């Protein structure tokens, strides 16, 4: 099917092999395999099977009813129907070009054209094909369109590889270049697209018809600024006490006096009966109160409310007007029946005093202040920027020295002899141990970690690193000096042996890990634990032998590429750490140090270290090697070479990467709050869940402004340095 | 002063860059190394101060075998051997002064590098070195602001800072025009005669070899195919010339 322009003859019979085609028709790729194109045959087989399985599985997953999950028969029918359509089209083309157009090179209609026509046809008559091959029941229960498109693509792929096998078999392949697989790749992509369309749940009708749903919230998010400011409002509330029910002889709390300047309300009588709603239905109105009020703001609304003896306010319905406009004198007169039983007369004891409330809220006036939401958003934003800043700062401090370990051009020349490596390893261990002791001592003399956390941390870092490096150097020299006394070979073999023995310990851990991690999956933890020691021992022996064998192989040159080994380890760690999103780290950090900005900083720092170290090390790898060579020739040692030849060269890209990373960090930290990492995301998520879309809008605007500003600033800075 | 014995260098990819090369350099000599590019000149020079590790053979520096010297001791040998490069190999973003001072790194304690510290004496020396190569006014310019000829002079000043007994010059003028080439080689000649610094210089052009070198070795495909004085070069027949430079070579310049 996928004829290229160079090898188009379709009608020349001797160049095709029906046998190979037939083989591939039965088992995809078999014809190619038999014809000698082994890899191609296997690739095709795997591709067809994978796509078939994937399609089946997808359709089954999306079946509308679980009992229709297995639809192999239905799917096969679709594939066959599509294949029949395609074969029909191909035959039509063949007849057309051969007998009508007399075009043996088949240039009039390319096979791509036929396939395109096939897919267009499938698109338009798809429903009919489905209706023909599927039962009405199947049709109503499985997602037919996905089956149709993937089935059509699968049919095309199947037929393509039949044609391909026929051609490869016919040409005997020897000395000829294999035809392109472009057709197969295009068809496979179509198939994957069809499945993806289904799996991602693309729903065009919904997208087109239901756009109005966002119409309510979009304006509030897009222009939330009214919610960014506080508004002032005056509220007057006056109360008249009413006693109800009114026992014999009671007089009630008495009417309020008329006040000269302040708003007032007064009612008569102040003692009466409650309205009653009998269980038989209807309503018996309570005592009618005449209410007069004065000194409110004229022309504005007042609300009449009622509060029962235990203070629950409500608006009495059906008892009289509850919303009134104040007249020009600032008062009103109205009547209201005492509302229905709020307090059961049987259970309540003593006088039941209710409150009649008259409430007036003045018009909201712009208050020249920021609203609570705005304040919260601003604080959150500041926190966000600081999280980004701190993570970048800690990231630089850790990543810069580490990046040298991940730079191939600096690490690959570092070679070590087993004598030296042995000393280095022992020295580092001793130095590190000593560093921890020093830290413990310092911590104790400073009054514990809680009393002086920063000091103890700094002393700890300095002590462990410094003593570790000192141990590395000193150990290497000492062991080299000591072992050369054993003669030319003695030192080599002794140190190799000891190194192998040292390596047995990590080997033991690996073996134990294998037992606990992998064996216990099958056997269960308790059973696996019985003889896990054996696996540890096996691991120890294996690793020790491997290390010794490796060193044995190096006995002639006596140079072990320690630099490259270290490079590989460091690079791998960075790649693994970097490949997990900071959001995931934030979830873990929130559990580790609790919700809040510190968790976000911690998570972002971890990710930043790995990313920056990789960027820095790539900057180091791309420097001009000339100055390195020159400084080597001068007799400079490694540290001097780094300071005088590497650092000046990497400074511009390092500054640029750092600023860029800061930019990224601020952007990332806006989201960290979603998982408890502090910053503006924390409050943003709350507002989203409370449907406070105006507050959401404020936060989104602030984030957008900050990120845009930062983007501009960072690109300006980067331009200056590159 | 320097003896090279049966030096063979095979790169990890299997390329044989040098094959059984032996020669001797006497103190105060100006020795030229000629040959086509790819003939092994650069490899030879880099093997001498062990920027490259030779596969076989020995290198004797003042009768001491330095072929397998460990890094620490190698430093003391390297600082006695200055090196000048075709591409100058300056740190382009650093100042001329820093570049020259970096020639002193073989003598300064490594930990000083963290504080970017050089002694007052070293700074004085650096200015003197720049004075000698004629660009004292450029000390505070960035290295990439200088012209090619000036950059190579900085390279020589850097080598001078090492107080070298010998200078290895790897095609020092191949990136420069002929006028500058004479100026640069003039500085090397001056160092050779005035300071009695031995110079081992690889060159492309025979006229430059004749003008500056006392003695010449010719390399072809990693082997020494010619050894003689500059008079020998003047008398050299075309056949002999082709032996060094290959069949297609044409004689050019004043040779």
Res. B90 pLDDT band, cuts 50 70 90 = very high
Distance in Å, alpha carbon of B253 to nearest chain A alpha carbon: 30
Which residues of chain A neighbour B70 with C-beta distances below 8 Å? 480
CA distance A518 to B63: 62
Encode A19-54 in three state secondary structure: HHHHHHHHCCCHHHHHCCCHHHHHHHHHHHHHHHHH
Query: Lowest-pLDDT range, A181-185, A308-312, A353-357?
Result: A181-185
Q: Which residues of A33-65 are buried (b: 16+ CB within 10 A; e: fewer)?
A: bbbebeebbebbbebbeebbebbbebbbebbee
Closest CA to A638 of B43, B113, B223, B64: B113
CA distance B153 to A621: 28
- Quick one: average pLDDT of A127-152? 78
Res. A616 pLDDT band, cuts 50 70 90 = very high
What local confidence, expressed as pLDDT, does residue B252 receive? 55
Is A574 among the domain residues?
no
Q: Which long-range contacts (CB under 8 A, 24 or more apart) does A587-596 make?
A: A587/A675, A587/A676, A589/A677, A590/A675, A590/A676, A590/A677, A595/A676, A595/A678, A595/A682, A596/A676, A596/A677, A596/A678
Q: Do A637 and B103 touch (CB under 8 A)?
A: no
CA distance B201 to B209: 9
CATH number at residue A296: 2.60.40
Is A29 among the domain residues?
yes
Is A539 among the domain residues?
no
Which residue segment(s) compose the domain that A245 sits in? 231-369
Residue B221 vs residues A442, A515, A669, B17, B57: alpha-carbon distances, Å: 64, 58, 61, 7, 17
What local confidence, expressed as pLDDT, does residue B78 receive? 93
Is A515 among the domain residues?
no
Contact A183, A160 (CB under 8 A): yes
User: For residue A2, is pLDDT > 80?
Assistant: no
Residues A235 and A146 in one domain: no
Which residues of chain A neighbour B103 with C-beta distances below 8 Å? 634
- Quick one: average pLDDT of A701-711? 92
Q: Answer with the one of A189, A206, A223 that is the final residue of a domain.
A: A206
Residues A169 and A275 in one domain: no
Mark out the alpha helices in B112-229 (DSSP H runs). 120-132, 148-161, 178-194, 206-212
Number of neighbouring beta carbons within 10 Å of residue A409? 15
Q: Which of A635, A638, A721 has the highest number of chain B CBs within 10 A, making it the mutation to test binding with B?
A: A635
What local confidence, expressed as pLDDT, does residue A542 receive? 95
User: For residue A106, is pLDDT > 50?
Assistant: yes
Q: Which residues contact A552 (CB under 8 A, 6 or more apart)?
A: A496
- Quick one: average pLDDT of A151-174? 82
What local confidence, expressed as pLDDT, does residue A361 receive? 87
- Quick one: average pLDDT of B226-240? 80
The two three-digit tokens of residue A658, written as one number: 């750092």
- Quick one: average pLDDT of A366-394? 93
Res. B121 pLDDT band, cuts 50 70 90 = very high
CA distance B90 to B95: 10
Res. A105 pLDDT band, cuts 50 70 90 = low
Q: What are phi and psi of A336, to 5 degrees?
A: -150, 130
Polymer length in residues for chain B: 255
Q: Do B113 and A634 touch (CB under 8 A)?
A: no
Higher pLDDT, B252 or A399: A399
Q: What are phi and psi of A566, to 5 degrees?
A: -60, -40
Q: Which residues pair with A334 in a beta bridge?
A: A291
Q: Which residues pair with A416 in a beta bridge?
A: A560
What local confidence, expressed as pLDDT, does residue A69 receive? 55
Residues A176 and A324 in one domain: no
What local confidence, expressed as pLDDT, does residue A12 receive? 47
Q: Which residues contact A604 (CB under 8 A, 6 or more apart)?
A: A387, A388, A391, A582, A585, A586, A665, A668, A669, A672, A677
User: For residue A646, is pLDDT > 70?
Assistant: yes
Q: Do B91 and A627 touch (CB under 8 A)?
A: yes
User: For residue A10, is pLDDT > 50?
Assistant: no
User: For residue A370, is pLDDT > 60?
Assistant: yes
Residues A48 and A142 in one domain: yes
Residues A274 and A323 in one domain: yes
User: For residue A13, is pLDDT > 50?
Assistant: no
Q: What is the pLDDT of residues A442-496, one digit of tens each?
A: 999 988 888 888 889 999 999 999 999 999 989 998 998 888 888 778 888 888 9
**What is the average pLDDT score of chain A?**
86
Residues A355 and A381 in one domain: no
Contact A40, A181 (CB under 8 A): yes
User: For residue B240, is pLDDT > 80?
Assistant: no
User: For residue B250, is pLDDT > 80?
Assistant: no
What local confidence, expressed as pLDDT, does residue A396 receive? 94
Is A217 among the domain residues?
no
CA distance B48 to B7: 10
Residues A172 and A287 in one domain: no
User: For residue A546, is pLDDT > 90?
Assistant: yes
Is A170 among the domain residues?
yes
What local confidence, expressed as pLDDT, does residue B33 receive? 92
- Residue numbers of B between 126 and 165 with CB closer than 8 Å to A: 155, 158, 162
What local confidence, expressed as pLDDT, does residue B6 receive? 93
The two three-digit tokens of residue A550, written as one number: 């490796």
Instruction: Give, in words, the CATH class of B1-80+166-255.
Output: alpha beta
Number of neighbouring beta carbons within 10 Å of residue A690? 10
What local confidence, expressed as pLDDT, does residue A70 receive? 59
The two three-digit tokens of residue B14, written as one number: 């299997």
Is A313 among the domain residues?
yes
Contact A376, A683 (CB under 8 A): yes
Q: Do A630 and B83 touch (CB under 8 A)?
A: yes
Tally of domains within chain A: 3
Res. A176 pLDDT band, cuts 50 70 90 = low
Is A93 among the domain residues?
yes
CA-CA-CA-CA dihedral for B41, B46, B47, B49, to nearest 10: 140
User: For residue A229, is pLDDT > 70?
Assistant: yes
Residues A170 and A253 in one domain: no
Closest CA to A338 of A272, A436, A255, A284: A272
CATH number at residue A643: 1.10.3720.10
Query: Lowest-pLDDT range, A59-73, A131-145, A352-366?
Result: A59-73
Q: Do B105 and A648 touch (CB under 8 A)?
A: no
Q: What is the pLDDT of residues B18-77, one digit of tens each?
A: 999 999 999 999 999 988 888 889 999 999 999 998 989 999 999 999 988 887 889 999
Higher pLDDT, A424 or B110: A424
What local confidence, expressed as pLDDT, does residue A17 receive? 80
What local confidence, expressed as pLDDT, does residue A572 receive? 94
Closest to B93 (Cβ–Cβ): which among A631, A637, A648?
Answer: A648
Higher pLDDT, A60 or B28: B28
CA-CA-CA-CA dihedral for B236, B241, B243, B244, to nearest 10: 110
Q: For chain B, which residues make up each domain, given as ranges?
A: 1-80+166-255, 89-163
User: For residue A173, is pLDDT > 60?
Assistant: no
Q: Which of B54, B67, B96, B105 has the highest number of chain A CBs within 10 A, making it the mutation to test binding with A?
A: B105
Rg, C-alpha atoms of chain A: 41
Residues A388 and A358 in one domain: no
Residues A304 and A354 in one domain: yes
Closest CA to A709 of A225, A392, A381: A381
What local confidence, expressed as pLDDT, does residue B249 receive? 60
Contact A629, B85 (CB under 8 A): yes
Encode A409-469 in three state secondary structure: HHHCCCCECHHHHHHHHHHHHHHHHHHHHHHHHHHHHCCCCCCCHHHHHHHHHHHHHHHHH
Residues A656 and A591 in one domain: yes
Residues A160 and A280 in one domain: no
Query: What is the maximum span of chain A, computed from C-alpha positions, in angstroms?
Result: 123
Report percent pLDDT > 70 for chain A: 93
Q: Which residue of B has its CA nearest to A556?
A: B55
């Amino acid at each position: 099917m996928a004829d290229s322009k160079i090898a188009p003859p379709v009608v020349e019979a001797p160049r095709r092999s029906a046998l190979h085609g037939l083989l591939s028709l039965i088992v995809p790729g078999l014809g190619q395999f038999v014809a000698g194109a082994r890899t191609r045959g296997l690739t095709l087989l795997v591709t067809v099977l994978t796509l078939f399985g994937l399609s089946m599985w997808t359709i089954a997953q999306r079946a509308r009813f679980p009992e229709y999950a297995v639809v192999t028969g239905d799917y096969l029918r679709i594939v066959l129907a599509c294949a029949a359509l395609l074969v029909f089209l191909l035959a039509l083309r063949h007849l057309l070009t051969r007998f009508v157009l007399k075009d043996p090179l088949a240039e009039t209609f390319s096979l791509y054209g036929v396939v395109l026509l096939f897919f267009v046809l499938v698109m338009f008559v798809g429903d009919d094909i489905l209706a023909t091959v599927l039962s009405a029941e199947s049709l109503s229960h499985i997602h037919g369109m996905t089956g149709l498109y993937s089935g059509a693509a699968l049919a095309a792929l199947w037929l393509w590889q039949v044609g391909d096998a026929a051609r490869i078999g016919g040409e005997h392949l020897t000395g000829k270049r294999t035809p392109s697989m472009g057709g197969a790749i295009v068809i496979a992509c179509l198939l994957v697209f069809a499945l993806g369309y289904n799996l991602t749940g693309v729903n065009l009708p919904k997208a087109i018809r239901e756009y109005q749903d966002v119409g309510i919230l979009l304006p509030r998010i897009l222009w939330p600024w009214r919610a960014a400011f506080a508004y002032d409002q005056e509220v007057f509330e006056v109360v008249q006490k009413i006693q109800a029910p009114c026992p014999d002889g009671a007089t009630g709390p008495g009417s309020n006096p008329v006040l000269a300047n302040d708003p007032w309300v007064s009612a008569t009588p102040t003692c009466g009966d409650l309205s009653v709603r009998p269980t038989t239905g209807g309503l018996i109105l309570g005592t009618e109160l005449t209410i007069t009020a004065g000194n409110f703001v004229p022309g504005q609304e007042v609300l009449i409310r009622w509060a029962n003896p235990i203070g629950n306010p409500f608006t009495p319905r059906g008892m009289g007007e509850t919303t009134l406009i104040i007249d020009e004198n600032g008062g009103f007169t109205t009547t209201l029946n005492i509302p229905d039983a709020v307090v059961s007369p049987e259970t309540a004891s003593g006088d039941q005093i209710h409150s009649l409330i008259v409430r007036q809220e003045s018009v909201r006036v712009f208050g020249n202040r920021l609203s609570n939401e705005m304040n919260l958003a601003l604080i959150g934003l500041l926190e966000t920027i600081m999280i980004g800043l701190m993570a970048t700062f800690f990231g630089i401090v850790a990543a810069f020295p580490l990046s040298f370990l991940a730079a191939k051009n600096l690490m690959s020349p570092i070679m070590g002899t087993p004598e030296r490596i042995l000393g280095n390893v022992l020295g580092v261990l001793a130095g590190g141990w000593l560093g921890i002791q020093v830290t413990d001592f310092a911590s104790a003399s400073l009054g514990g970690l809680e009393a002086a956390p920063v000091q103890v941390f700094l002393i700890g870092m300095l002590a462990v690193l410094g003593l570790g490096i000192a141990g590395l150097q000193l150990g290497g020299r000492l062991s080299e000096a000591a072992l050369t006394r054993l003669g030319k070979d003695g030192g080599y073999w002794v140190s190799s042996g000891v190194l192998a023995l040292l390596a047995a310990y990590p080997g033991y851990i690996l073996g134990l890990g294998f037992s606990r991690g992998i064996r216990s999956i099958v056997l269960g933890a308790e059973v696996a634990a019985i003889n896990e020691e054996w696996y540890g021992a096996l691991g120890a022996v294996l690793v020790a032998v491997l290390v010794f064998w490796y060193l044995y192989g190096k006995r002639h040159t006596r140079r072990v590429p320690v630099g490259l080994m270290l490079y590989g380890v460091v690079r791998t760690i960075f790649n693994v750490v970097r490949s997990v999103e900071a959001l995931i780290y934030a979830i873990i950090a929130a559990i580790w140090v609790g919700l809040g900005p510190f968790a976000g900083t911690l998570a972002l720092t971890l990710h930043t270290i790995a990313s920056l170290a990789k960027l820095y090390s790539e900057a180091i790898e791309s420097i001009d090697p000339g100055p390195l060579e020159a400084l080597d020739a001068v007799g400079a040692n490694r540290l001097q070479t780094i300071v005088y030849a590497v650092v000046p060269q990497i400074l511009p890209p390092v500054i640029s990467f750092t600023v860029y990373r800061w930019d990224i960090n601020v952007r990332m930290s806006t989201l960290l709050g979603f998982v408890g990492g502090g910053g503006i995301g924390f409050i943003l998520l709350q507002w989203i869940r409370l449907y406070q879309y105006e507050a959401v809008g404020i936060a989104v605007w602030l984030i957008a402004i900050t990120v845009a500003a930062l983007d501009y600033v960072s690109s300006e800075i980067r331009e200056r340095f590159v | 002063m320097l003896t090279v014995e049966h030096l063979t260098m095979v790169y990890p990819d299997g390329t044989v860059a040098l094959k059984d090369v032996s020669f001797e350099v006497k103190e105060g000599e100006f020795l030229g190394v000629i040959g086509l590019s790819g003939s092994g000149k650069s490899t030879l020079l880099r093997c001498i101060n062990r920027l490259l590790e030779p596969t076989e053979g020995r290198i004797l520096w003042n009768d001491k075998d330095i072929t397998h010297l460990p890094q620490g001791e190698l430093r003391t040998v390297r600082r006695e051997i200055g090196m000048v490069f075709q591409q100058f190999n300056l740190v382009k973003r650093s100042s001329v002064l820093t570049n020259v001072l970096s020639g002193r790194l073989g003598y300064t304690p490594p930990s000083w590098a963290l504080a970017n510290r050089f002694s007052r004496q070293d700074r004085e020396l650096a200015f003197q070195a720049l004075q000698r190569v004629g660009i004292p006014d450029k000390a505070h310019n960035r290295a990439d602001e200088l012209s090619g000829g000036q950059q190579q002079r900085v390279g020589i000043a850097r080598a001078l800072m090492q107080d070298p007994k010998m200078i290895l010059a790897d095609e020092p003028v191949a990136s420069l025009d002929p006028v500058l080439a004479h100026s640069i080689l003039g500085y090397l000649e001056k160092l050779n005669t005035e300071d009695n610094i031995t110079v081992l210089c690889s060159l492309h052009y025979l006229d430059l070899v004749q003008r500056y070198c006392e003695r010449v070795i010719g390399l072809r495909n990693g082997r020494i195919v010619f050894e003689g004085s500059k008079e020998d070069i003047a008398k050299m027949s075309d056949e002999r010339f082709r032996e060094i430079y290959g069949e297609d070579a044409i004689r050019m310049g004043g040779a």
